[in-house]
DNA sequence: GTCCCTTTGAAGTAG
DNA sequence: CTACTTCAAAGGGAC
């Protein structure tokens, strides 16, 4: 795919997207929701023609899907997306303002990262070289918005990779009154707590040292359990999403209301933490995880327990208390938690916008919603898309830091093979439903247009 | 209960 | 290197 600006060598991946954006062509101006809707309507018109001609049904592609096997953090994300929606009465496109969350306003004074205002110097030496962002700055850990590439915060940007034009400082720097990152809802996965002043009890700053039994200041990692760090890197990795982890130990990745759903066990869990979560973890987590579990043992949301996947209904059942009831070692693959892929820019965008689109359209079918989202995605301005690309990049970076050995390949084959004999451009199998979607879309888009 | 659909993007595989 | 495949989210629909 052609790239607008030659790529710039940035790993942001935003470059890629600009392509599609350019492909869309004409729409370079700031896109309003109405414009988007109009475009959708236009598309529908042409689509109706295109779709009708290809209504042959060939079920060629039966794609297996992951079912909600990892609801823990997804729901957390949704929670915030929902919260965002409530706060935002206006449309996302109408207003660039992304209301934030109060708890993000309050720096976590107990967090060493903040207390000293900088990250441990060793951070860069610990992080995998390929993940290191030479200039990945402490500012991230100081509640700076990762996407706010304002001139004054040059350190925020990866110095080694010139900022692409579309990702440059042009990114709207909306310093919201409440210092909330616009994209907070995208990656603030906690679905559990939302009250600024009441940190979860299990995240209480006062933690007993497992060795001494003396209350101590919790390690930053313990306060930010959503990001299990790799052994040896705990507390030293420059968290790419540090800005999300500041408050109250509110992790980006949530702890499900019912507790830790997946059996990924605590490794070097301290006494107080382990007492809270131990019962939910399986025994095989005694040894340091190859992919860097956080010391708290709280798994990254991307981790999906195979057990959960296979037995969705029994997430909190006693069977989960594997620690006390030793289970026969499962197969190798079963042992390993299912670490999901980090979300890409579009996925992040979808997560944020889905609820809004659904509300607008009174449509719930994801397939139809996704079609709309896909079009809206293309109608986004560069700056808007850049936000998501940047966010996605950080997600990937974080993911790779958390799971150094993880590869997307690991998840291959976990789903049933889908028959994809047909070529990308020929999608006969979907036309049947597509027809339906496009019958619905005009109404959907009309509603959207009214907004 | 499971899989499909649909979208884009990242990353993997195959040739 | 290119082309293709898989998976990530989502939830109603189909079976």
Q: What is the pLDDT of residues A78-114, one digit of tens each?
A: 444 444 444 443 333 333 333 333 233 333 333 333 3
Question: For strand B, is any atom closer than 7 Å to the CB of A365?
Answer: yes
CA A335 vs CA A92, A300, A306, A308: distances in Å? 42, 16, 7, 12
Q: Could you tell me the distance in Å between the CA of residue A319 and the C1' of nucleotide C12?
A: 31
Q: Could you tell me the distance in Å between the CA of residue A17 and the C1' of nucleotide B7?
A: 14
Residues in Cβ contact with A144 at an 8 Å cutoff, skipping those fewer than 6 apart: A137, A153, A156, A243
pLDDT higher than threshold 60 for residue A373: yes
Residue nearest to nucleotide C12 (CA to C1'): A365
Question: For strand B, is any atom closer than 7 Å to the CB of A20?
Answer: yes
> Do residues A224 and A251 lie in contact, with contact meaning Cβ atoms separated by under 8 Å?
yes
**Distance from C-alpha of A428 to C-alpha of A441, rounded to nearest angstrom:** 20
Question: Domain extents for chain A?
Answer: 14-67+344-450, 71-339
Predicted confidence (pLDDT) per residue in A319-339, tens digit:
333 333 333 344 544 556 788
> Do residues A35 and A27 lie in contact, with contact meaning Cβ atoms separated by under 8 Å?
yes
Check residue A300 and give its pLDDT.
57
Question: For strand B, is any atom closer than 7 Å to the CB of A345?
Answer: yes
Q: Could you tell me the distance in Å between the CA of residue A375 and the C1' of nucleotide B4?
A: 21
Residue nearest to nucleotide B11 (CA to C1'): A408
pLDDT higher than threshold 90 for residue A157: no
Question: What confidence category does residue A213 fall into, taking pLDDT thresholds of 50, 70 and 90?
Answer: very low
Residues in Cβ contact with A222 at an 8 Å cutoff, skipping those fewer than 6 apart: A203, A207, A249, A270, A273, A295, A296
Strand partners, A215: A208
Taking alpha carbons only, the member of A379, A16, A380, A384 closest to residue A4 is: A16
% residues pLDDT > 90 (chain A): 11
Question: For strand C, is any atom closer than 7 Å to the CB of A201?
Answer: no
Q: Does domain A14-67+344-450 have CATH number 1.10.30.10?
A: yes
Q: Could you tell me the distance in Å between the CA of residue A439 and the C1' of nucleotide B6?
A: 15
- Nearest nucleotide by C1' from A311 CA? B1
Q: Which of the nucleotides in strand C have any atom less than 7 Å away from a protein CB atom?
A: 4-14
Check residue A370 and give its pLDDT.
94
- Nearest nucleotide by C1' from A365 CA? C12
Question: For strand B, is any atom closer than 7 Å to the CB of A1?
Answer: no
Min mean pLDDT across A5-9, A298-302, A329-333 is at A5-9
Question: For strand B, is any atom closer than 7 Å to the CB of A396?
Answer: yes
> Do residues A298 and A274 lie in contact, with contact meaning Cβ atoms separated by under 8 Å?
no
Predicted confidence (pLDDT) per residue in A400-428, tens digit:
888 888 888 888 877 655 543 333 333 33
> Do residues A265 and A426 lie in contact, with contact meaning Cβ atoms separated by under 8 Å?
no
Q: Could you tell me the distance in Å between the CA of residue A426 and the C1' of nucleotide B12?
A: 22
Q: Could you tell me the distance in Å between the CA of residue A37 and the C1' of nucleotide B3?
A: 31
Question: For strand B, is any atom closer than 7 Å to the CB of A377?
Answer: yes
Question: For strand B, is any atom closer than 7 Å to the CB of A109?
Answer: no
Question: For strand C, is any atom closer than 7 Å to the CB of A427?
Answer: no
């Amino acid at each position: 795919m052609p790239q607008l600006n030659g790529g710039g060598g940035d790993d942001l991946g935003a470059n890629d997207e600009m392509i599609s954006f350019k492909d869309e062509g004409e729409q370079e101006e700031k896109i309003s929701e109405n414009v988007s809707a109009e475009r959708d309507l236009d598309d529908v018109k042409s689509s109706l023609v295109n779709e009708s001609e290809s209504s042959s049904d060939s079920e060629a592609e039966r794609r297996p899907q992951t079912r909600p096997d990892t609801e823990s953090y997804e729901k957390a994300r949704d929670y915030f997306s929902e919260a965002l929606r409530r706060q935002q009465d206006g449309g996302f496109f109408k207003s660039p303002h992304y209301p934030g969350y109060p708890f993000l306003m309050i720096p976590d004074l107990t967090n060493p990262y903040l207390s000293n205002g900088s990250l441990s110097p060793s951070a860069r030496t610990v992080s995998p070289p390929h993940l290191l962002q030479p200039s990945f700055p402490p500012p991230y850990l100081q509640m700076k918005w990762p996407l706010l590439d304002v001139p004054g915060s040059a350190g925020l940007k990866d110095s080694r990779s010139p900022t692409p034009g579309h990702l440059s400082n042009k990114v709207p720097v909306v310093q919201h009154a409440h210092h909330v990152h616009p994209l907070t809802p995208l990656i603030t996965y906690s679905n559990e707590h939302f009250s600024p002043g009441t940190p979860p009890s299990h995240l209480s700053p006062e933690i007993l040292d497992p060795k001494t039994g003396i209350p101590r200041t919790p390690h930053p990692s313990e306060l930010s359990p959503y990001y299990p760090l790799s052994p040896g890197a705990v507390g030293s990795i420059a968290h790419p999403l540090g800005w999300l982890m500041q408050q109250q130990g509110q992790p980006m990745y949530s702890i499900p209301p019912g507790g830790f759903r997946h059996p990924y066990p605590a490794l070097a869990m301290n006494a107080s933490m382990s007492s809270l979560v131990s019962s939910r973890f399986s025994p095989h987590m005694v040894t340091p995880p190859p992919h860097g579990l956080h010391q708290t043992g709280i798994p990254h949301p991307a981790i999906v327990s195979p057990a959960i996947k296979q037995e969705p209904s029994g997430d909190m059942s006693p069977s989960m208390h594997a620690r006390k009831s030793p289970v026969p070692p499962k197969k190798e693959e079963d042992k390993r938690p299912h670490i999901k892929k980090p979300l890409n820019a579009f996925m992040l965008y979808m997560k944020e916008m889905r609820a809004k689109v659904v509300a607008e359209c009174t449509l719930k079918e994801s397939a139809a919603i996704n079609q709309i989202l896909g079009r809206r995605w293309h109608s986004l301005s560069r700056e808007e898309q850049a936000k998501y690309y940047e966010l996605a990049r950080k997600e990937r970076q974080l993911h790779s830091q958390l799971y150094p050995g993880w590869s997307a390949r690991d998840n291959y084959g976990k789903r049933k093979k889908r028959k994809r004999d047909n070529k990308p451009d020929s999608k006969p199998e979907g036309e049947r439903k597509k027809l339906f979607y496009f019958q619905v879309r005009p109404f959907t888009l009309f509603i959207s247009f009214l907004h």
